Amino acid sequence: MAFSKQVKERLQKEYDIPWFNPGFFNKWDVHQMLISDHQASMHLPESYFQPEFTDIQNLLEKYKQVYIKPANGSLGLGIQQLIQKNEEPFVYCRFRNNEENRLRRYSSLKRLLRRQFPFGFEGMIAQQGINLLKWHNNPIDFRIHTNKDEQGKWCVSAIAAKIAGTGSITTHVKSGGEVKTAKEILRDIGANPAILKKINDTALLLSERIDANMPGFIGEIGFDIGVDQQEHVWMFEANSKPGRTIFSHPKLKGDDLQSRRLPLEYAIFLFKQSIEKQPELVNANEHFLQL
């Protein structure tokens, strides 16, 4: 690991080699980056970082469901869903523990939070729950991969629908989720096929906004996006190093190849830019390869 770090630093500092997507996104940093942009902010659920009790209480009263998750989490780990049903005095909590989907009922929100979050909410985000499109009563969200192409322009390289497993709060396959193509899920639930264009357009808009405000080079983003019953598109997360579980679906092999090819094309684009800025880089690279 130390050797690879030294090589990376040498390539960047001595040879001016561009390096894109060097680290993970922080969920709250991305949220704050986009909230001030009018077009992008329309796709962000109401959210609070390190929330107070009243923040969670207000979200629950307004939306009847709240998600609480780590700002630096990934793979759906550490996410909990709070549910308030109109006809009941109880508050429910869905979460995953020891590879099992769990549901607990509490007589009050205060008791739930004390039990489920004994260490408080440091580094946590409380987020508005969305009444998503459903398949057989299981929520659906969409994974969209965007990449820069050989001209440095953003494009959608892959899209898939993910269906939550029974009793699961996320659509991750490890939690019982299922992957389908976006077209077939929209057809199966009788949804408007124009939703697909809305999702694509939103992913490209968000990619451009994140890219414009993030330091360094960004060449790939994986979005978790939801669509509510009114066909409004919401962004739940943006990932700089997206997982590739969706590509296990046999009908997504073409998307798999596309999402692998585009990073190489963008790398060539960056390399060409480097050469144009520093012609002497060619001789430097030849010297480096001889070492």
Note the pTM of the prediction, 2 decimals. 0.86
Q: What is the CATH number of the domain that holds 66?
A: 3.30.1490
- Residue ranges for the chain with pLDDT beneath 50: 281, 284, 287-291
Reading across the β-sheet that carries 124-128, which strands appear in turn?
Answer: 47-49, 124-128, 65-70, 80-84, 91-97, 100-106
* One domain for residues 219 and 265: yes
| Overall number of domains in the chain | 2
pLDDT value at position 53?
97
Quote the pLDDT of residue 75. Answer: 63
Six-digit token string for 203: 């992913």
Confidence at residue 179, expressed as pLDDT on a 0 to 100 scale: 93
- Contact, 276 vs 6, CB < 8 A? no
Give the pLDDT score at 289: 44
The SS3 assignment for 155 reads strand
The pLDDT score that the predictor gives to residue 287 is: 47
In this structure, is residue 40 part of a structural domain?
A: no
Closest CA to 42 of 235, 239, 237, 238: 235
What pLDDT sits at residue 14? 58
pLDDT value at residue 58: 97
What is the residue range of 6's domain? 1-28+130-291
Q: What is the pLDDT of residues 44-99, one digit of tens each?
A: 999 999 999 999 999 999 999 999 999 886 666 789 999 998 878 899 999 988 77
Query: For position 272, what pLDDT does the model report?
Result: 85
Q: What is the pLDDT of residue 21?
A: 80
Residues 105 and 125 in one domain: yes
Element (H, E) at 55: helix 53-63
CATH number of residue 288's parent domain = 3.30.470.20
Residue 38 counted as domain residue = no
Within this chain, do residues 220 and 153 fall inside the same structural domain, yes or no? Answer: yes
Report which of 22, 6, 21, 20 is spatially closest to residue 273, judged by C-alpha positions: 20
Look at residue 174 in the predicted model and tell me its pLDDT: 67
Q: Check residue 12 and give its pLDDT.
A: 61
* Per-residue confidence (pLDDT) for residue 288, from 0 to 100: 43
Q: What is the pLDDT of residue 251?
A: 93
